[in-house]
Amino acid sequence: MTSRIGLLGGTFDPIHNGHIAIAKTAIQQLKLDKLFLIPAGNPWQKSEFTDSKHRLEMTKKVGHDLEKVEVLDIEVNKSGPTYTFETLQELHRKFPNSEFILILGSDAVAGFDTWKEPNLVKTLARIYVVQRAGDFTQDWHFDHIQMPPIEISSTEIREKVKKKESISELVPKSVNEYISANGLYKN
């Protein structure tokens, strides 16, 4: 029997309530058997990001509390840049009887043609798009997850921490506590 596995990857710097809403909605709407949260190891299109051990730990704290969700360290454990097509190839080897559904924000889809091997990505997973706040209207003819646009961004959260503003409405308590305990995003 084929299992339907959703893949929600990202820098997760930090993971936030918008990511959680996407995960829960995707599991329900797409009738997923499981959803993997996959923190990027070395996101090749970003120049600055928090150490992967912190991003992985925050993601694990969220993953423990969500039904049908598992956190994979598949990209965090790789050296060098991480590419979605390679992750998908590895997942196909590990879970050969699975259908993979890659969940992307509309901001990520807007830059999809700059990815390594975008056509291969499309053959390895069915892609569903979640609307992010902002004008990301490029239509790649992908399916859409029906939910309100995600208004939260990790960048906004990092800026709020830097300014010593509250982020309690934007992240789960466990993530907020982890950020505070580890002095993340202060400068």
Tell me which DSSP letter residue 128 carries: E
User: Of all helices (H) and strands (E), which one includes residue 179?
Assistant: helix 173-181
- Global pTM value: 0.93
CA gap 44, 39 in Å, rounded: 13
CATH architecture of the domain formed by 3-152? 3-Layer(aba) Sandwich (3.40)
Tokens of 52: 């992967």
* Distance between first and last Cα of the chain: 50
In a 13 Å sphere around the CA of 68, the CA atoms on its Cβ side amount to 19
| 3-class DSSP assignment, residue 103 | strand
Q: Where are the domains of the chain?
A: 3-152
pLDDT truncated to tens, each residue of the chain (187 aa)?
A: 789 999 999 999 999 999 999 999 999 999 999 999 999 987 665 667 899 999 999 999 999 999 999 999 999 998 888 899 999 999 999 999 999 999 998 888 888 888 999 999 999 999 999 988 765 555 567 898 999 888 899 999 999 999 999 999 999 999 999 999 999 999 8
- Neighbour order of strands in the sheet with 126-130: 69-71, 34-39, 3-10, 98-105, 126-130, 143-144
Give Rg (Cα) of the chain: 16
